[in-house]
Amino acid sequence: AISTQDPSAPVDAIKLAENLLPGGNRATLQLADGTGIGLDQGKAGIVMGDEITYTDGSVALTAAKDEKRMMILSTPRGGQYQIALADGTKVWLNADTRLRYPNKFTDEQRVVELDGEAYFEVAKAAGKPFIVVTAKEKVEVLGTHFNVYSFPKEKESKVSLLEGKVKVSVPAGKTRLLQPGEQASVQGEELSVQQVPVDESIAWKNDEFMFNNEPLGTALAQVARWYDIEIDIDPNLAKMKLWGSVSRLDNFDKVLKIIKMTDDKIKIQIEGRRVRLMK
- The pTM for the full model equals 0.89
Q: What is the DSSP string of 81-125?
A: EEEE-TTS-EEEE-SS-EEEEESS--SSSEEEEEEEEEEEEPPP-
Residue-wise pLDDT tens digits, 138-153:
999 977 999 999 999 9
Residue-wise pLDDT tens digits, 59-95:
988 865 667 889 999 999 999 999 999 999 999 999 9
pLDDT at 101 over 90: yes
User: How far is it, in rounded angstroms, from Cα 155 to Cα 14?
Assistant: 30
User: What integer is the mean pLDDT of 27-32?
Assistant: 94
Q: How many C-beta atoms lie closer than 10 Å to residue 45's C-beta?
A: 22
User: How far is it, in rounded angstroms, from Cα 243 to Cα 212?
Assistant: 5
